[in-house]
Amino acid sequence: MTSRITVRPATEDDVGLILSLIGRLAAYEKLSDAMVGSESALRDHLFGARRYAEANIAELDGEAVGYALFFHTYSTFLTKPGIWLEDLFVMPEARGKGLGKALLAGLAATAVERGCGRLEWSVLDWNEPSIAFYRGLGATPVDGWTSYRMTGGPLQALATSANAPG
């Protein structure tokens, strides 16, 4: 019997599932201690008055086994919107069945439909299975760019300086 793969937009009823899958992704990436989000914040950010992100759910024979969470970016060089894939995760027992490709293909279709010039994401350097998967789909690394992040105290300090007399 052939398995049936479906990809659908997440609904508000999926918030607990998505948070659970985020936890599984954090564990896979050895970053469980960094996961401090809540179901209520996720619900608000995905389905509240201002939606910061969107998610798609991958199902195998009707059972949710993966997700993609994404949001829009903007390229000034292209003068077009883009899509940033924040998370792509398929549960280990469901890998190798085409779910990751289905999630990315659906996201690529969304990007094309919305007139986006790019679909981008990051991958941890050590994650060779994912790197091989992405390269197999035709994705290429963006050489010459280094990502930066500001959180916690430095973020607060810089924000505070915006209101300080200059």
DSSP H or E stretch at residue 27: helix 15-28
Q: Are 67 and 103 in contact (CB under 8 A)?
A: yes
Given 67, 74, 134, 148, the catalytic residue: 134
Residue 52 bears catalytic tag: no
Q: Which residues, at least 6 apart from 3, have a Cβ–Cβ distance to it below 8 Å?
A: 60, 61, 97
Cα 47 from Cα 15, distance rounded (Å): 9
Q: Which residue matches tokens 């792509």?
A: 88
CA angle, residues 41, 34, 143, in degrees to nearest 5: 105
120: left (phi over 0), alpha (psi -120 to 50) or beta: beta
Cα 115 from Cα 113, distance rounded (Å): 6
Residues listed for the chain: 166
Maximum Cα–Cα distance across the chain = 69
* Catalytic residue annotation: 134
